[in-house]
Amino acid sequence: MDGQVAARLRLVPAGGAHRERTPDGFTFNVKAFSLLTQHPTRPSSLHKDLRAALGESPKRTLYQRDLPAEIVEEVWDRFLGALAPLHEAGRLGALLFQFPPWFPPGESNRRYLLRCRDRCRPMRICVEFRNAAWMDDAHREDTLAFLAAHDLPYVCVDMPQGHPSSVPPVLAATSDLAVVRLHGHSERWTSRVIEERFGYLYGEHELRDWAELLGADR
């Protein structure tokens, strides 16, 4: 989007610095911290005092379920607190909540989506799935209806197909905000090296096709 950028902010009070370094009208869309989307998280990415409160962890990675509720709440507070300066300055677009392949459709996970929405208010979230079941023939209609009923923007993704994390590129607007992410079609999609996984340059014809699709959907 013109004047917008997607960013990943760690659990540091960086919002103010980003606000000061960008011009008026510049908007950030920020990806949610991994622990909050039920992804594995390195203990080193937590603040030092939170690591101390956890004691010596034998695990190389942590999941939200591994932590006491009060620590999880503190992570929420610090993540959102870091973004407050951007939000107050009108420079925060949406918070991207990208959920992992092991986050399937179901009542418990739908409740968690609502919790994330409510926990972030007045900041706004959008939702991306990496479990194809949300968009398969058996669940697509219910998924989109649920998102629309609760004013949760759906994130359409263009990505390689045939992998456990592959979701079909379903174009749907479930709120007044619609989000599309172009992940590319790298042949190294399963690589742990991010430059290889997303090392893909869209051709002009591909972008023209997407522009036509998006224009026709308005």
pLDDT digits (tens, 9 = 90+) for 127-163: 999 999 999 999 999 999 999 999 999 999 999 999 8
Q: What is the pLDDT of residue 14?
A: 55
Lowest mean pLDDT among 48-57, 74-83, 196-205: 48-57
Give yes or no for residue 105 having a pLDDT over 80. yes
pLDDT digits (tens, 9 = 90+) for 5-31: 454 444 444 556 666 777 778 889 999
> Can you give the pTM of this predicted structure?
0.87
How would residue 3 be classed by pLDDT, with cut points 50, 70 and 90? very low
Q: In Å, what is the CA distance from 172 to each residue of 18, 213, 216?
A: 31, 11, 12
**CATH of span 4-217:** 3.20.20.410
pLDDT digits (tens, 9 = 90+) for 58-93: 688 999 999 999 999 999 999 999 999 999 989 999
* Domains of the chain, residue spans: 4-217
